A and B are shown apart, each in its own frame.
Chain A
């Protein structure tokens, strides 16, 4: 302690010099505008560098928590992406249906409800499709279901959030269809076997049909409007009883890959149904 004091006393002129000089420099920086500007610019640079170093150091030590937060955020974003992608698919189906002129589908009053297939079967005699829209979304029994390529089926059962669709590949489904060129109509029948082929039955023998003709919905129902594509004629032959033609139809809808559909609610279909009941 004594040595320290002796040191301080011996070099007291240094302390006085530093004190006076610092005070003078304070006056220079404080009361001279130019020097003040230069000083504060330099000071900002130094304090900026120190703050940057501090921030990088604390950031480094907080990396573990940041990592965890990012993982959680990633998971939630992935879930959102999946949801949006499915919705996008639904929207794409609707957009395509609305713009495809060959449908001549929609009166403006008709409603399209987009849906995604959550379950599908192909290998049974009675195949059903489950979609992710139900009563609360406006889906009702006996509404038609279409895909981008063509007819898919008819709504059979409905719950609040899901609906069961009687697929075209179902032995109980007898869709009223017609040959687009000639308007001769019959009933579409599928009795197992290939999932891309069906049979249009009960066409009159005088009907003019050729291989390659397009088969569409007839419109003689409250389920589908007219001219919704169904398939293309592959073969023409007489029925067993020789009283009508039967057409082998290659279905336009690929039931093994279809993911997005739309449920059709025809304008004034309820009124027509009531009239039919009467």
Chain B
């Protein structure tokens, strides 16, 4: 249990640093930014309580905010995603409530996992960019940014998932 928590903390810091110091500065085609930090929350064990998940999401998002000078933005999006994640898993898989698994291609099946990945990424990025833009709303530009960032993030996360087996 203690080792699990430690490894989670280590993963969290690694992803936070990667996201805040490197990936946030990428702007592919002037609109797309990959959000690898989502990987941390997405691939938590399915039987983790909602409260614990939200707290992990909150702290990881807050760390990214502190390092990228966007107070509250990542944290708000991460908490919102973490709140929705259990329902998203139910939607995309046929697992029972008590079954514990770490979301992956192997555990969920390709179709289910792709569905879960796409929904998660699009939802997270939509909330994140929505809070970030907050009123300077050009819907076309917002849509463009969401789509391009989502595509980029999906590709990145899928690649990382395939490369790493599990981070339970």
Q: Does A26 contact B (CB under 8 A)?
A: yes
Report B119-136 CB contacts with A as 1/0, cut-off 8 Å. 000000000000100111
B139 to chain A, nearest CB (A): 16
Cα distance A30–B73 in the bound complex, in angstroms: 11
18 A–B contacts, CB within 8 A, in A order: A13-B50, A13-B83, A17-B83, A20-B75, A21-B79, A24-B61, A24-B72, A25-B131, A26-B72, A27-B71, A27-B76, A28-B76, A28-B134, A29-B72, A31-B71, A31-B72, A32-B134, A38-B135
Q: Is the CB of B134 within 8 A of A24?
A: no
Q: B51 near A16 (CB under 8 angstroms)?
A: yes
Taking CB atoms, residues of chain A closer than 8 Å to B72 are: 23-32
User: B54: CB under 8 A from chain A?
Assistant: yes
A27 to chain B, nearest CB (A): 3
Q: How far is the CA of A20 from the CA of B134 in the complex (A)?
A: 19
Least distance between B133 CB and chain A CB atoms (Å): 9
Q: Which residues of B contact A (CB under 8 A)?
A: 49-51, 54-55, 58, 61, 65, 70-73, 75-76, 79-80, 83, 131, 134-136
In the bound complex, CA of A34 to CA of B131 (Å)? 11
Which of chain B's residues have a CB closer than 8 A to the CB of A13? Answer: 49-51, 54, 83
Contacts of B61 in A (CB 8 A): 24
User: Please, how many angstroms separate the alpha-carbon atoms of A21 and B75 in the complex?
Assistant: 8
Whether A34 lies near B134 (C-beta < 8 A) is yes
Give the chain A neighbours of B73 by CB distance below 8 A.
24, 28, 32
A32 to B135, CA, bound (A): 13
For the complex with contacts A16-B51, A20-B75, A28-B76, 5 further pairs of A-B residues with Cβ separation under 8 Å are A12-B51, A16-B54, A20-B58, A24-B76, A27-B71
Chain B residue with Cβ nearest A36: B134
Q: Are the C-beta atoms of A25 and B54 separated by less than 8 Å?
A: no
Quote the shortest CB–CB distance from A183 to chain B (angstroms). Answer: 94
Give the shortest distance, in Å, between B67 (CB) and chain A (any CB): 14
In the complex, the chain B residue whose C-beta lies closest to that of A17 is B83
Residues of the B chain whose Cβ atoms lie less than 8 Å from the Cβ of A21: 76, 79-80, 83
Residues of B within 8 A of A23 (CB): 72
Q: Flag if B50 contacts A30 (CB, 8 Å).
A: no
- Chain B residues contacting A17 (CB-CB under 8 Å) are 50, 54, 79-80, 83
Residue of B nearest to A21 (CB): B79
Contact at B134–A35, with CB atoms within 8 Å?
A: yes
A21–B83 Cα distance when bound, in Å, is 10
Taking CB atoms and an 8 Å cut-off, the chain A residues in 119-154 that contact chain B are none
Closest A residue to B134 by beta carbon equals: A35
Determine the distance from Cα of A12 to Cα of B54 in the docked complex, in whole angstroms: 12
How far, in angstroms, from A42 to B135 measured CA to CA in the complex?
10
Q: Chain B residues near A32 (CB, 8 Å)?
A: 70-73, 134
Complex CA distance for A29 and B71, rounded to whole angstroms: 9
Contacting pair B135 A24 (CB below 8 A)? no
How close is B106's CB to chain A, nearest CB, in angstroms? 29
Determine the residue in chain A with the shortest Cβ distance to B82: A17
A20 to chain B, nearest CB (A): 5
B58 surroundings in chain A (CB, below 8 A):
20, 24
Residues of chain A contacted by B136 (CB below 8 angstroms): 34, 38
Residue of A13, A23, A24, A25 most packed against chain B (CB within 10 A): A24
